[in-house]
Amino acid sequence: MNLESLGRWKVDLVWERDWNLGLVGRTLLELNYFGTLFGGFPKYRYLKLGIPTEKIRTRPAAALWNYGIGRLRLPPRLRMDEPRRVGSWVARQKRLSPAILVNGTAYRFLFPELLSRPTFRLVERGSMYPEDFFRFPQKARREAGYPHEEQLPPEILDEMQKAPLAESTICGSEMVRKSYLKRGFPETSLHTAHYGVNPDVLAPATHVDPQGRNLRIGWLGVIGFRKGIDRARRISEWAAQKRIPLEFHFVGPIQDPESWEILRSFRCPYILHGVKKGAELQKVLSLWDLYLLPSYEEGLAISLLLAMAAKIPSFVDQDTGCREPVRAGINGEIFEGYSREELDQKLWPWLGDQTKRRAGGEQARETILQNFTIGHYRTRIAKIHERLQEQARQKYHQEGV
């Protein structure tokens, strides 16, 4: 590679799954920065997200194998290491673009192999620093009375050791950026690009009169410890004690056996909708009165942005990047401890006031329109890549490449 080639900035994507790939991939395509996608899922998953077929190269054997292991309930020791296989496969490629962007942990195996090659190393972070990513779920398990771990496992220690090999990190929220900044990562290497959604494709919540029915609290995404399922249980106990007619609506997969146990101990009725997409998801969203995402660790969930765009007041935890779009008392609330006193203060006013819910929903959508659309994300990413190109030019100039 020479300095002139950086004028035609292309970025290869290494995506183990398809998290946020539709948004990131289409944005890079529109900016003409997209190189090749190296994926760990079958090709059709990426085609459905709008990635052109000529841009896709996949190695899905490990993902399919692990899916079969899970379906057949075979011993976990039989599972393949998907990040290792994807990272090692990409490392063997003879030609790569001027930059390579990794989502997930495949960089642990890829970046050490690229140190002597003129490829700028980038990571896209939707979650916090690896130690935080581990500690928060353990805190959730401890608070729920389940066994938890204190000692960092080898893969987390290895990830922490390899994380500095990324020359720049694109963070999905300020909370994520700060989690790396406080670990000593150079401020100039950390860039924030809040995610965005298209509000025009979402049917707004109806907020119909709640007389004669339960108030519906929605949840969209994985349902498990890290996502705060036990905190939702506490809300159900509080509501049952106060005789508030709540009904929880869960859209997404159940993450672990303990989460099923917690769900069975709910004191309020709940409905498990499974995985919903497209028109089916819009139909479910439009019926919710409030949205809840009480995660212990979260960057900025696109599910939250979808709910807010659908005019649903939203309730999140203070220790996640999800608090960044939420304006307490205006378009939702930010919880700290989920005590009964806090629920009395922050949740009760919304449950008893339909006018407040309607107004909060309007403010939620306005927040999305002002700062969290796909257009806003595209603008942020374009500016970041301008800086990254200059950073790469300086690097290669210093190294005499």
183 touches 203 (CB < 8 A): no
Helix (H) or strand (E) holding 333: strand 332-335
pLDDT band at 396 (very low <50, low <70, confident <90, very high): confident
pLDDT band at 262 (very low <50, low <70, confident <90, very high): very high
Q: What is the pLDDT of residues 360-389, one digit of tens each?
A: 999 999 999 999 999 999 999 999 999 999
Residues of the chain with pLDDT > 70: what percent? Answer: 97
Mean pLDDT of the chain: 93
Domains of the chain: 3-196+374-399 (3.40.50.2000), 199-371 (3.40.50.2000)
pLDDT at 1: 41
pLDDT band at 4 (very low <50, low <70, confident <90, very high): very low
- The Cα–Cα gap between 174 and 169 comes to 12
pLDDT at 72: 87
pLDDT at 148: 94
pLDDT at 399: 64
> Would the pLDDT of 76 be above 80?
yes
Q: What is the pLDDT of residues 162-174, one digit of tens each?
A: 999 999 999 999 9
pLDDT band at 398 (very low <50, low <70, confident <90, very high): low
How far are the Cα atoms of 7, 168, 375 from residue 27, in angstroms, in the given order?
A: 18, 18, 9
> Would the pLDDT of 241 be above 60?
yes
Helix (H) or strand (E) holding 37: strand 34-39
DSSP type of residue 328: B
pLDDT band at 101 (very low <50, low <70, confident <90, very high): very high
Q: Concatenate the DSSP letters of all residues of 2-26 into one string.
A: -GGGGGG--EEEEESS-TTHHHHHH
Closest-CA residue to 228 (of 301, 311, 308): 301
Please state the rounded mean pLDDT for residues 106-122: 95
The mean-pLDDT minimum among 63-72, 84-93, 123-132, 266-275 falls in: 63-72
Beta strands in 197-326 (DSSP E): 215-220, 246-251, 270-274, 290-293, 314-317
